[in-house]
């Protein structure tokens, strides 16, 4: 019983923490929704278009999009 109460409390606190973000957007995991450059770890929005990613890879690292953002569809 004690454990259950503790877990519920923890969940409540977490929900409280996320309520601000939930207001502006749906409850998405920002990290999971981001595209991270494998080279410099710069995050990009998941909605970033391939040309922009290609430009970053090319101008910043002189690499291809696939090298900097493996797994991102063209
Ligand atoms: Zn980069």
Per the model's pLDDT, the better-predicted residue between 22 and 53 turns out to be 53
C-alpha 37 to ligand 1 mean position (Å): 5
Q: What is the domain partition of the chain in residue ranges? A: 1-25, 31-74
Q: Which two tokens stand for residue 23?
A: 């207001």
Q: Do 59 and 68 contact (CB within 8 A), yes or no? A: no
Per the model's pLDDT, the better-predicted residue between 51 and 31 turns out to be 51
For 7-42, write each residue's pLDDT tens digit: 667 776 666 655 554 455 555 555 456 899 999 999
C-alpha 31 to ligand 1 mean position (Å): 16
Q: Report the sign of the C-alpha dihedral through residues 32, 36, 38, 42, in that order.
A: negative
Instruction: Specify the pTM.
Output: 0.56
Residue 44's beta-bridge partner residues? 35
Q: Which two tokens stand for residue 1?
A: 């019983």
Per the model's pLDDT, the better-predicted residue between 44 and 17 turns out to be 44
C-alpha 25 to ligand 1 mean position (Å): 26
C-alpha 5 to ligand 1 mean position (Å): 45
Beta strands 43-45 and 34-36 are: antiparallel
């Amino acid at each position: 019983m004690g454990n259950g109460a503790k877990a519920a409390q923890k969940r409540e606190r977490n929900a409280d923490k996320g309520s601000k973000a939930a207001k502006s957007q749906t409850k998405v995991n920002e990290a999971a929704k981001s595209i991270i450059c494998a080279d410099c770890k710069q995050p990009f929005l998941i909605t970033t278009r391939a040309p922009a990613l290609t430009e970053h890879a090319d101008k910043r690292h002189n690499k291809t999009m696939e090298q900097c953002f493996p797994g991102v569809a063209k």
